[in-house]
Amino acid sequence: MAQRDKFYINGEWVAPVESGRTFPVVNPATEEVMYEIALGSAADVDRAVAAARAAWPAFAATTREERLALLERVMQVYRKRMKDIGRAISDEMGAAQPFAERIQAGAGLGQIMTVYDALKTYPFEERLKSAMITREPIGVAGMVTPWNWPLNQIGCKVAPALAAGCAMILKPSEYTPTSALIFAEVLDEAGVPPGVFNLVNGLGPDVGVALSSHPDIDTISFTGSTRAGIDVAIRAAPTVKRVSQELGGKSPNIILADADFEKAVTGGARHCFNNVGQSCNAPTRMLVPADRMKDAARIAAAVADGLKVGDPNEAGTDLGPVVNRTQWEKIQKLIEVGVEEGATLAAGGPGRPQGLNKGFFVRPTVFADVAPEMTISREEIFGPVLSIIPYASEDEAVKIANDTPYGLAGYVSSGDLNRARNVARQIRAGNVNINGAGNEQHAPFGGMKQSGNGREWGRFGIDEFIEVKAVSGWGFED
């Protein structure tokens, strides 16, 4: 039973300093309150930071082998709790049950496994001529994670911090708290030393602000909206702490004229609708040759119309609801704006899917003939909405792709691999995928421009929790 009324601090489940502050967790498929969680305050953050600060020196002194053994135990316990984690994610953010367990919970385990592999050869010491370059844990880390991929984002922060030798305080999303509480139970059972990992539930204006501005926190790792990321950076600035951010996106998917068109459009549409469109790197802007617009709209509409939207627990469901009413209303408004601004509605549209009278369900929606200046082409919708944009030349496609304040991901399809590589080099994004390839988890993940800074995953994730020191004269004899 998850400890929803307590926080995990210094290896124990403890009551909040201020009692009575709670947050209702709503099942997005039923719109019913399932339970309430305790909300923390700056005082709870102070307790957690003090515990982390006290635990850090001993944990920083552990060896690579000791941390590898710890991560191995974490993975063993995590595997035992996969069904519990998947169930919690499905109930709280609406993912279809098989997807929640296999993909959502599986992504968190995958992050830990990747860091485990990276830690085996991570260069904590490196000779550079007469100097020794040492990579040391930065200290105490604050972490703020989102609701859309809760365990993936927790895994890609906590695992590298443990590998680096840091202590940490996690604030998970208030919309998906249970999977994070189960994760705390996993770390406790695996034997993470008291104080090394701490969890405080709460709201951004309370716990998030306290973490960002806390003088005894050395780095903040934040995943969320660009608006919130800006606030985190501003509050962190007076203490000159490091800030790593993975923020919003409006990722372009350039389908070149020589691509396998049916395959590329189908795959791009499916990827856009994956996780009900609630992924910051979703390929929501599909760019196609202008003379293939009708074909693209037809193929993408067939994908949208073929998806079963409904109860996450029902067999055969492809897409559950979006996470909450606020998101649902935002998505509905942007779909309506797309219609008002003159885009062609090829599939879906406003309102719930037929037969669903409650729950935050969204019709998978495809807009064709979208102009680059339209609202749906520029704003992050964070729902199952695809915009198909025509282009006249390859150069124009690249120009449209880069005409955005975001730069998290990009996608290119072509029958000529060298041509695809050339376009990929021109896209201003932290991650570019060619011909439907999935992300390589050992490669870095992160954004450019207003999609953030810093990198996660594998050894690049470990780097974010490391300070680099140069010891000159190391190679000289006295």
Could you give the angle at the alpha carbon of 216 between the alpha carbons of 234 and 228, nearest 5°? Answer: 25
Burial class (CB in 10 A: 0-12, 13-18, 19+), 444: middle
Q: Are the CB atoms for 34 and 27 separated by under 8 Å?
A: yes
Give, in order, the Cα–Cα distances in Å from 198 to each of 48, 172, 272, 339, 378.
6, 11, 35, 47, 38
Amino acid at the residue 228: A
Between the alpha carbon of residue 197 and those of residues 50, 135, 227, 304, the distances in Å are: 12, 21, 27, 42
Nearest to 212 by CA among 176, 247, 241: 241
Provide the 3-class DSSP secondary structure of residue 151. helix
Angstrom CA distances, 282 to 160, 226, 252, 387, 409, stand at 24, 16, 9, 12, 8
User: CA torsion angle for 389, 309, 226, 162 (degrees, to 10)?
Assistant: -130
Residue environment code for 63-99, b if the CB has 16+ CB neighbours within 10 A, otherwise e: eeeebeebbebbbebbeebbebbbbbbbbbbbbbbeb
Terminal Cα distance for the chain, rounded:
61
Using DSSP bridges, classify how beta strands 140-144 and 219-223 pair: parallel, antiparallel or unpaired: parallel
Q: Which amino acid belongs to residue 287?
A: L
Distance CA 395, CA 402 (A): 11
Task: Indicate which residue of 246, 380, 456, 464 is catalytic.
Answer: 246
220's enclosing H/E stretch is strand 219-223
Q: What is the amino acid identity at position 98?
A: P
Q: Pick the catalytic residue from 166, 185, 280, 456.
A: 280
280 is an active site residue:
yes
Q: Based on the number of CB atoms within 10 Å of its own CB, is 61 exposed (0-12), middle (13-18) or buried (19 or more)?
A: exposed
91 closest CA partner among 364, 261, 313, 337? 313
Residues labelled catalytic: 246, 280
